[in-house]
Amino acid sequence: MSYKTTFCTYFCSFTMNATIIGSGIAGLASSIHLARKGYQVQIIEQAPSFGGKLNTIILGNYRFDSGPSLFTMPHFVTELLDPDLVQKFQYFKLPVLCNYFYPDGSQFHASSQIETFIDEAAHFFDEPKSKIQRFLNHSKRIYDITSPVFLENSLHRLSTYTAPTGIKGIANLWRLDMFRTMNRALESQFSNPKIIQLFNRYATYNGSNPYKAPATLHVIPHLEFHYGAYLPKTGMRDIAEILYEQALRLGVQFEFNSRVNRLHVENQSSKPRISRVITEEGKEFKSDIVVANVDIKIVYQKLLQKSLPPKIKNAENSSSALIFYWGIKQKFPELDVHNIFFSNDYREEFDAIFHRKTIQKDPTVYINITSKLVGSDAPEYGENWFVMINVPHNSGQDWKELVGIAKEKILQKLSKLLNVQVSDLIETEAVLDPITIESNTGSDKGSLYGSSSNHRMSAFFRQANFSKEYDNLYFCGGSVHPGGGIPLCLLGAKIVNKLIPEVH
Ligand SMILES: Cc1cc2nc3c(=O)[nH]c(=O)nc-3n(C[C@H](O)[C@H](O)[C@H](O)COP(=O)(O)OP(=O)(O)OC[C@H]3O[C@@H](n4cnc5c(N)ncnc54)[C@H](O)[C@@H]3O)c2cc1C
């Protein structure tokens, strides 16, 4: 807090209030930025605790992270922390990014060491090392071009394009491979369908379809291969815990179990502004700045009672997920922290998700097992399996029926590939589906990442981090620029911080 603000806070009773709606990762990060800027920050959260999708489930002797399981770019978290909290926030770097199981029974361990990955992938997939190296170099190049323009700044401010990095980015747009799909680009480079499937999978990191999404999304592997994959020392929830601790230390106030249902608009100045944030119980929070960390569709339709701008209304939702949290009473040495059991027909699987809006009969199954590194997450004899498949967003399907069918298919597939009757090993179970994802966190139709990136202009169709209509309204989180996933949500909070004025 600046001297001027501190002085005013105590002697002139002058404070600037910033109200943040929602305590997801981007809301927590924004609260830290704004408190450091001198605002008196309050977060209004409908749930009994902070973190949004970054939460925990405890079932008997098993603990599970309920949402995100893959942690990349930890520096976006540590840069928000005081030095002693940086020391406190510990995480493991994973030696293996993912264990891949193919339907024919073959297995590939993707090393996080880039040279080892290239050597082993060249051997396993029978592809020249030079091609794999070229693909990863290309991934890095896309990151270097897009990061300063698309990820670290507002896409909706002229200054982004007139800055030297913006000019360079625009001059290099042709290198981004925007006019082919991810799959088409991979097919032109590799001949083994297994390596094509492996790299196509990165589309799911933001809920997209590799058979539709532009090849620009081949930027995603760079995040894992260059920056690494991590797991916080006692699980993903640590990320939310440490940001919460930092926020409290900076004086951020939390109002839990409080659902915001209206923003009061004041029309006294040339541009309307939000003067108060009002909850369902009728509590009012006077606000000089409002940051919405809830799904953008909630902001327009519910909090402002307005219709959606066409570009948001027409954007295709990202995929959702169906997750089984299984306490498994056996250990599986052949499994790692991240494991993928691929489907036979990947194109058909995405067609089911994005076009037919159902679950295909042989879905790709992802198993995350934090107890591989966090011993306390499962009893000595067992493992905590977070078993997830990608599914369409909710559009009125019979989820009870789909969940039952999917469970059967998943058990059949895993039992066959692991050579054991998995259903006999399940000690405890909980299920999360698109309906519960929406009811827990407010994400429209249960989509994990807001809108998909299936269109080459998707980045431009997302809501900007500021409102053009209301003077003091800002947006952060997975449904607005630059998109979903922990790193992008943290970058969104950083952009919001750049846009919000200092306290005078
Ligand atoms: C199953 C699953 C797996 C995922 N896997 C990964 C992964 O491996 N890696 C990764 O990086 N990302 C992953 N993601 C995506 C990632 O979790 C999200 O992009 C990110 O956590 C979203 O954060 P957010 O800031 O947008 O807020 P959210 O987490 O969406 O939180 C929004 C908050 O707002 C609150 N809220 C909503 N409406 C109101 C209201 N009216 N009043 C008050 N409060 C309200 C909600 O209760 C919630 O706490 C996954 C997501 C899910 C669900």
Nearest-atom index, ligand 1, CA of 66: 1
Using the predicted structure, report yes or no on whether residue 407 has a pLDDT greater than 50: yes
Number of H helices, E strands in the chain: 19, 19
**Confidence (pLDDT) at 161:** 66
The pLDDT > 70 percentage for the chain reads 95
Using the predicted structure, report yes or no on whether residue 397 has a pLDDT greater than 60: yes
Using the predicted structure, report yes or no on whether residue 20 has a pLDDT greater than 80: yes
**Confidence (pLDDT) at 453:** 83
Residue 197 beta carbon below 6 angstroms from any ligand 1 atom: no
313 backbone φψ class: left, alpha, beta (φ>0; ψ -120 to 50): alpha
| Strand order across the beta sheet in which 284-286 lies | 260-266, 273-279, 284-286
Q: Tokens at residue 364, please? A: 């790709």
pLDDT class of 399 with cuts at 50, 70, 90: very high
CA dihedral sign of residues 77, 81, 83, 87 = negative
**Confidence (pLDDT) at 1:** 41
The pLDDT > 90 percentage for the chain reads 85
Using the predicted structure, report yes or no on whether residue 207 has a pLDDT greater than 60: yes
Q: How far is the CA of 484 from the centre of ligand 1 (A)?
A: 8
Residue-wise pLDDT tens digits, 117-175? 999 999 999 999 999 999 999 999 999 988 877 777 766 776 766 777 766 777 777 67
Please name the residues in contact with 187: beta carbons below 8 A apart, sequence gap of 6 or more: 196
- For ligand 1, atom 18: residue with the closest CA: 485
Q: Tokens at residue 300, please? A: 């327009």
Section 372-398 average pLDDT: 97
Strands 230-232 and 253-255, bridge-based pairing: unpaired
**Confidence (pLDDT) at 155:** 66
Output DSSP code: residue 154: -
Please tell me whether the overall predicted TM-score, pTM, comes out greater than 0.75 for this model: yes
**Which domains, and CATH codes, for the chain?**
3-48+256-315+459-499 (3.50.50.60), 53-112+228-236+319-448 (3.90.660.20), 132-188+198-224 (no CATH)
Q: How far is the CA of 224 from the centre of ligand 1 (A)?
A: 21
Nearest-atom index, ligand 1, CA of 44: 43
Residue-wise pLDDT tens digits, 26-64? 999 999 999 999 999 999 999 999 999 999 999 999 999
421 backbone φψ class: left, alpha, beta (φ>0; ψ -120 to 50): beta
Residue 496 beta carbon below 6 angstroms from any ligand 1 atom: no
Section 395-416 average pLDDT: 97
Section 14-33 average pLDDT: 96
Residue 437 beta carbon below 6 angstroms from any ligand 1 atom: yes
Using the predicted structure, report yes or no on whether residue 6 has a pLDDT greater than 50: no
Using the predicted structure, report yes or no on whether residue 389 has a pLDDT greater than 80: yes
Using the predicted structure, report yes or no on whether residue 4 has a pLDDT greater than 50: no
Residue 437: closest CA among 381, 471, 393: 393
The tokens 């960390």 sit on which residue? Answer: 293
Least confident of 240-244, 420-424, 483-487: 483-487
**Confidence (pLDDT) at 131:** 98
Residue 204 beta carbon below 6 angstroms from any ligand 1 atom: no
